[in-house]
Amino acid sequence: MTALAHKNPPITGSMKFEGLHSDVFVGFSSPELLRISRCLGIRENRVQRGDVLSREGESLSHIGIVLEGTLFSKSKSIEGSTHLTEIINPGQVFGEDLLWDRKQRTHRTVPASTSATVLLLGMKRIYDPDGPLCDLRLRMVENLFKVVNEKNRRLELNLRMMLRKSLRERLTLFLKDQSAQQQSPMFTIPLRRNELAEHLNVDRTALSRELSKMKSDHLIDYHRNSFRLLEP
């Protein structure tokens, strides 16, 4: 059973939509957000670090949006090893693979990296032609597909990173991407060393050694999860 098995009541007017920053709802006013939440039966769930929101191969009935905290997306290889494929930050979605799986089975396991708050959008109400047809649903669905397209672009970036032969190249791509996302040469990553090693598909000892070398070569500076890119 996942952490989302318990069904919370639909969102009411007490929900503070002003704190919602997701491209899924871009262009919506606060009153419209409340209307679309009623139309789609959107629910809010709070989870703790380590809670699993979905498991690979399970049938799901919702797509999620992260309000607060960080989630991971993990998948298994043919050999059975687990790979951290994606870091899901506030405003981003999870469970979107249900959109193209007719059996509505997710292909990834999504654990919470930190305590988190998520919104759940019922799949049946999103695309069922017999479901509620409020005038805002089409706008939300169009936004959702734009978000999924952007997510696919990021997954393509991860694939390019994994195709790099050297660990330094993988690290450089990852750190530059984190810097670009946070729009600063100084940034914090949401991964512990073992999680970063899993994300880059490398040995943790080799990762720590390469980070030290990059620091000695004046390419980066770091302390724990805080990094700074230096001019070469």
pLDDT band at 14 (very low <50, low <70, confident <90, very high): very low
The answer for residues whose C-beta is within 8 angstroms of residue 168's C-beta and 6 or more apart is 210, 213, 214
What type of residue is 123? M
Task: Write down the pLDDT at residue 11.
Answer: 43
* Mean per-residue pLDDT of the chain: 85
Task: Write down the pLDDT at residue 178.
Answer: 93
pLDDT band at 232 (very low <50, low <70, confident <90, very high): low
Q: Is residue 152 classed exposed, middle or buried when 0-12, 13-18 and 19+ CB atoms within 10 A define those classes?
A: exposed
Task: Write down the pLDDT at residue 123.
Answer: 78
Task: Write down the pLDDT at residue 184.
Answer: 96
What mean pLDDT do residues 164-183 have? Answer: 93
CA angle 41, 43, 44 (to 5 degrees): 165
pLDDT band at 13 (very low <50, low <70, confident <90, very high): very low
Neighbours of 49 (CB within 10 A): 12
What mean pLDDT do residues 141-150 have? Answer: 86
Task: Write down the pLDDT at residue 12.
Answer: 42
Q: Lowest mean pLDDT: which of 90-104, 105-119, 155-169?
A: 90-104
Q: Lowest mean pLDDT: which of 8-17, 47-56, 66-75, 147-156?
A: 8-17
Ranked by mean pLDDT, the top range of 20-24, 99-103, 112-116 is 112-116
Q: Which domains does the chain have, with CATH numbers?
A: 17-161 (2.60.120.10), 165-229 (1.10.10.10)
Interval 205-224: pLDDT, tens: 999 999 999 999 999 999 99
Task: Write down the pLDDT at residue 86.
Answer: 92
pLDDT band at 98 (very low <50, low <70, confident <90, very high): confident
